[in-house]
A = this chain, B = another copy of it.
Amino acid sequence: MASESTTAHPFEDAPNHVTPTVIHDPILTKTDFKRVGTRPLRPDGLDKVTGRARYGADFNMPGQLVGLVLRSPHAHAKIKKIDTSKAEKLAGVKAVITFADMPDHTGGDQSMYDILENCMARGVAKYDGHAVAAVAAVDAATARAALKLIKVDYEVLKHVTDVDEAVKPGAPLVNPKNITEGVEPKPTKPSNIAKRTEFGHGDVDAGFKEADVIVTRSFRTEQTHQGYIEPHACVASVSPDGTGELWVCTQGHFVYRNHCAMLLGMDVSKLRVTSSEIGGGFGGKTHVWAEPVALALSRKANRPVKLTMTRDEVFRASGPTSATSIDVKIGAKKDGTIVAADATLRFTCGPYYGMWAELGAMTAFACYDLKNVRTVGYEVLVNRPKTAAYRAPSAPMAAFAVESVMDELAHKIGMNEVDFRIKNAAKQGTRASYGPVYGPIGIGATLEAAKKHPHMKAPLGKNQGRGMACGFWFNFGGQTCTDINIGPDGSVTLTVGTVDVGGSRASLALCVAEELGVPYEQVKCLVADTGTLGHNDMTDGSRGTFSSSMAGIFAARNAVTVLRERAAKMWEIPVDDVKWEDGHAKAVGSKYGNLAPLSIKEIAAAAGNTGGPIAGHSEIVADGAGVSFATHIADVEVDPETGRSKIVRYTVIQDAGKAVHPTYVEGQYQGGAAQGIGWALNEEYIYGKDGRLQNPGFLDYRIPVCSDLPMIDTQILEIPNPNHPYGVRGVGETSIVPPLAAIANAMSNAFGVRMTHVPMSPPRVLKALEAAKNG
């Protein structure tokens, strides 16, 4: 999260903001801001530090039961029989459910069926931690006792958890019916490759023939978890009349509503979902896990049910990232021009496939202007939990491989890494490796800024190296609804449907205050439950502030239209003679010299006599998300005795589009970098030969703590997104993309050792150092 103390950054001389030429466009309507760009106090801060904020487990309903889930201890097992009779007879147990209590309402929708099966195993447990039954009881002790009374008769099957093992012929099949999609002709034999996907343009083979230097390397990254502090928690209540309520920690309560309603066979309008405050999500709270189970328990018990996951359950049975195996080949001329780029990316996805391969193949070379480029992605089924997004899903792994090779290639042709990238950077008009032609973009600007940044001249100590890398993320748009209601005292309520995961309530209130011309403090932004707004897509893909600010600005403009009409009515003059300026209605024309401007407060106070409450609404598909680029610089110190690495300096330079609330933007930059550092150096899922997760806890799965990190410096570039009225892009994802490669490149620069396996944990670094010494 953002720190207020930006003055404590190590590079005080570095410009905090760089604003290149503004591109004007019909959608981009504002470049002179009074409130946007300021740094008001975060509105949720006080309640969060005092404990008043209510998270997923902080809600209770009268008569509520405790729900617990029984999980498979096997990586892969046929469930021959589940005997719940003893558990059902235990006093205090109000419901025991298995998949039989969650009949299939998905009507042939495979991805929804996968979600259903992942929530509760249907005949086969597909990973260690897969839910097989659940109980609701009057208290936790009774629920725990009941779990122990459920007898599951398993037939253990062969399993596979490793990405490279899984694609080998003869590997145990995670889904014996799986036939690879995206391959022509359609394969006849099942395999663990769920999907093949390819992007690119030009003639890659011909391109490589023009190359003076070619670098080819293979890489691996291990599975990580988003590591949000707050475990999944919800309270569900289903009435026998077919209506239901769900209080839940989520990144998208509208999507949870739609999914849960479908899985439970309810009308969408009859399930009301309220999102709690969120103690971190980072993509991991975009899928339903416990929620349909809690609803099914409540429906059977006819009582509200609270279900909270333990940390062990979060690791074993929520949605970590993908583990990958990636081959990259890039060829360049001596002058530094890349002539061809090729990558093959294999992403594990657990037992059910997702978007990993596609997003990895799309993002891999997105930073560069390439004539000949090809990326092929494979989605690989393994006996691990169903993956979920983690901040720019797929991009960090792809960037790790590509940006490592970029450095190696630069060195081989004797070019500075930054200059090599500047030479090949994508620009406005570049056809992206994944298809579209870029509008105004910031990759070049971030590289130029990095080159000039004082960090580049900071002295390095013993055993220290400096590396840099670039990163890309699309940013998302999508369905979005906002309401603005002006109270009788002129204070403004802005109601949004995108969960605030990183400060969007402040940003959205700033945008609406800007548009209405009122102080930020006069606008209160609330996240509505699903009963009171139209559908909103998830807060994911860095879409929250982009899309809800767009909808909020449009809603504010609608409200301004009403405000002008009301002022015209109060003055009894034509509405065309009323303009809106600085939060006031003003009569235009010398004949109205006697009419003093009317404030929102004055117009609102009269609303009961001029037509009723004043509101503005907006339901949109927020098209035109602006792509985002970053360049990171990392200084790493490696202890050659232990292999332990320490980040000694770190700088994030990223294009935000318009930075609505710069402190939050900096916080996103810092947060993404911190998570990327953890991923690069320590975090990984470790599976035993039995296919069971060996480190499902924060003692053995080590995320960085404060003392592991330096102050992460940030520099915000503002290249406005022409498709947003204020030029907003999105800032949450890109910052996690470069760290893996930046740190690997720093290690290479420190010791000449190229790390190709993430995390670059002490044992792996030590092994690499020793191999280099001996080789």
Residues of A that sit less than 8 Å from B by CB: 43, 45-47, 50-52, 54, 58, 60-63, 237, 239-241, 243, 258, 261-262, 267-270, 272, 302, 304, 478-481, 483, 485-489, 491-493, 495, 522-524, 526, 528-536, 607-609, 611-615, 617, 619-621
Contacts and interface: CB of A to CB of B under 8 A. Distances in A.
A243 B524 contact: yes
Contacts of A258: 487-489
11 contacts: A51-B63, A54-B62, A267-B489, A267-B522, A268-B487, A269-B492, A269-B523, A481-B613, A528-B531, A535-B607, A609-B621
A483 to B, nearest CB: 7
Contact of A491 (B60, B269, B483, B613): B269
A720 to B, nearest CB: 23
Contact of A526 (B268, B492, B531, B620): B531
Contacts of A526: 272, 531-532
Contact of A535 (B239, B479, B487, B528): B487
A495 B240 contact: no
Given A612-B621, A613-B481, A621-B608, A50 B302 contact: yes
A534 B479 contact: no
A113 to B, nearest CB: 17
Contacts of A536: 613
Contact of A61 (B54, B491, B619): B54
B261 A489 contact: yes
A570 to B, nearest CB: 15
A157 B304 CA distance: 53
Contacts of A62: 51, 54, 58
A532 B54 CA distance: 19
B621 A491 contact: no
A615 B495 CA distance: 15
Contacts of A60: 60
A487 B45 CA distance: 33
B613 A479 contact: yes
Contacts of A54: 61-62
B534 A532 contact: no
A45 B241 CA distance: 9
A241 B46 contact: yes
A728 to B, nearest CB: 18
A269 B524 contact: yes
A46 B478 CA distance: 37
A41 B239 CA distance: 15
A43 B480 CA distance: 29
Contacts of A239: 46-47, 50, 52
Contact of A479 (B45, B50, B607): B607
A681 B531 CA distance: 45
B612 A480 contact: yes
A624 to B, nearest CB: 13
A481 B46 contact: no
**Which of A269, A304, A489, A614 has the most chain B CB atoms inside 10 A of its CB?**
A269
Contacts of A486: 534
A617 B615 contact: yes
A250 B106 CA distance: 41
Contacts of A479: 607-608, 612-613
Nearest to A608: B479
Nearest to A528: B532
A103 to B, nearest CB: 18
Nearest to A51: B63
Contacts of A535: 485, 487-488, 607, 613
Contact of A532 (B51, B237, B533): B533
Nearest to A240: B46
- The 5 tightest CB contacts between A and B, nearest first, are A534-B613, A268-B487, A269-B491, A532-B532, A267-B491
Contact of A612 (B304, B488, B522, B620): B620
Given A43-B241, A239-B52, A614 B619 contact: yes
Contacts of A621: 608-609, 611-612
Nearest to A261: B489
A522 B242 CA distance: 12
B240 A483 contact: no
Contacts of A620: 611-612
A713 B493 CA distance: 47
Contacts of A51: 62-63
